[in-house]
Structures are given as C-alpha cells and as structure tokens.
Amino acid sequence: MKKALFSLILFTLAGAVAAAPSFLITKPPVEPDPSYTGPTDDPHAQEGQWFKDNTTQDEEARTHEFYDNVEGSGGGTESFLAIKGYAENLQYDGDNITSFDIVATIKNDTPGTGGWRDGSNTHGESLTAAQQYSGKLYDTKLTAEFAVDLTAYNAWLDGGSASGVYEDKSPHIIAENHDQLAWFCWTPDNPDQDKQPWGDYLVPTFDFGDIAQGASVTKVLSFTVDGGGLLPSDARAIALETSSDLLLNRTTSLKISNWMDNIGEDDGTAYPSDNDGIALADSDVSVFHNVPEPATIALIGLGAIGLRRKF
C-alpha cells in the first residue's frame, strides 16, 4: 500500500507541472514484476536503479531516469544536448588511443514537448510512460555503459567469460575517476536457470549532484584503455576523434539497457535505432536521479509545494 501511494503521489506531482523527459522507473510502472533484475535486497528492482559507493560500500537506489530526447519528441529546449559529452586530452601509443577524457554536461531542460517512444532493455523490462516528472533533479548520477571498472569486472568474471545479456568489448575502456558502480543485471540465487550469470555492481557511475531546472552540471570523466589501446579502425576510436557529442540516452533505452555498450556520435537523430533497427542503440549512458520526498509535498495544484531531498 505504501509503494502504491508513493507512486500515486509521484504521478500526481508530474501532472501538476509541465511534461519533461524524466520517468519514474520503479515497479510499477516498469514491468514485469517479478523480474530478478535487481540486487539481493531488491530482487525485482522495485525501488528503481541501484548503486554501490566505491568508498563507503553503501547501496542506494534512484527512482527516476532522465533522457535527452530531441525537442518535439519528448525532449526539452536543449534537445539531444541535454546530455552531452566531448572527448578531450586523447593520449596515444603510436596510432592507438590509450587514454582520454570526456567533458560531460547534464542540463535540466524540463519541461519537454511532444510525445515519446516506450522503453525496453536486454533483460526483459519495459516501460510505457504516461507522464513525465518535471522539476529539480536530486542526487543525479550518470552511468557510463561503454566502460568498465576492471577490478570489479575481473572479480565478477572469476576466470569465466561474459555471456547472455553481458557483452565483452575488448580492448576495454576503463573508468578511472568514477564514484560508484551501478547494478547489472540478474539477481544472485534467482530460481530461473535462463537468468544467468548472476549480476553485480559493475557499471561505472559518476555523481552530478542536484541540478535545478534550467541549470547544468559539468564533470570531467577520465578513462584509460587496456590491451594496447583502441586501434584507428575501432569504431570507438573513430567516434572519439570527432568533435561531436558522444553521449546519448533516448526514452527507447530503459535504465541500463545493455552493457558493455559502444560509444558513438549523437548526431541529433530522434531515435538512432531507426537507422539500424536496434532500439538499444539509442543510448551509451544513462542518467538517474531522485525527486522530492512525497511526504513533504502538500496542496499540489494550489501552488504550495514543499521540497526536501530524498536519500
């Protein structure tokens, strides 16, 4: 009952303001439930997307996902540049890229305009969102789905190999200054033999803090490359050497839709999957955040709305 009330209040809040490209990703409205797509303490990811802090080892969830849909297709005034990143400081060994930075910016351009397409991911979850959240993004996080934390990845592999929904892309792009790891994918000890290997906290995640409407936050994300670096013919190297926006997350890509992913150019196409038929190509990062605590929201629609951070 408490969860149902929580969801109801969030949707009521969303209806009290203009639409924006940010959706509730708890269950409901994400389906199915059960799914075995969360950590042991929340096996069906009912609370949203989970993270573990690199320093404290604390685990916490985020309830919403923010997107960079094109304006008129659910996006705001920044359009596909609401989430953007440009490569800098490329270092080479011969012709191979061995390290680089991405200067990443998230701008809260809510509210958005127009309709949007439904979302899905490789692990069978889906979302048909009827409303969007519009307001301040609290405790915002960006997941780099094209990268790995090599220590966590090797410990998870434990001498084995990636299979099923887990992809291995060598040489690996290794995150160097991330703050957390995000959960991906199957719940340990789940009863479904098809939902293996079991998941862990694997996806490098960067903190962006609170972002008010109309404001932006920029961070420098640092990466290295193992195995001698990215060859000039590698599509990831080709993308990094352009001056284009490299970060995208359209509504067709629900949560961490696949991992490891490629990194590529965001040229402003409404849904890049229209070119190759793979909706999961519509992101290489994801952005998650919290919203005001429902208990502090009063008199919605009458102009008196109290806000407090959700932890």
Asked whether residue 309 is assigned to any structural domain, the reply reads no
Asked whether residue 65 is assigned to any structural domain, the reply reads yes
Asked whether residue 31 is assigned to any structural domain, the reply reads yes
Distance CA 266, CA 269 (A): 7
The whole domain housing 266 covers 2-296
pTM for the predicted model, two decimal places: 0.89
Distance CA 246, CA 196 (A): 31
Closest Cα partner for 256 from 62, 87, 76, 102? 62
Cβ atoms 221, 175 nearer than 8 A: yes
- One digit per residue, the tens of pLDDT, for the chain of length 311 reads 334 344 444 433 433 333 347 999 999 999 999 999 999 999 999 999 999 999 999 999 999 999 999 999 999 999 999 999 999 999 999 999 999 999 999 999 987 889 999 999 999 999 999 889 999 999 999 999 999 999 999 999 998 889 999 999 999 999 999 999 999 999 999 999 999 999 999 999 999 999 999 999 999 999 999 999 999 999 999 999 998 999 999 999 999 999 999 999 999 999 998 777 666 679 999 999 999 976 433 323 323 222 323 33
Asked whether residue 311 is assigned to any structural domain, the reply reads no
What are the structure tokens assigned to 180, written together? 């957390």
Number of domain units in the chain: 1
Asked whether residue 94 is assigned to any structural domain, the reply reads yes
Asked whether residue 305 is assigned to any structural domain, the reply reads no
Rama region for 284: left / alpha / beta (φ>0; ψ in -120 to 50; rest)? alpha
Strands 173-175 and 216-225: antiparallel
Asked whether residue 301 is assigned to any structural domain, the reply reads no
Q: Which one-letter DSSP state was computed for residue 34?
A: S
Asked whether residue 304 is assigned to any structural domain, the reply reads no
Residues 6+ positions from 271 with CB-CB distance below 8 Å? 73, 117, 250, 252, 279, 282
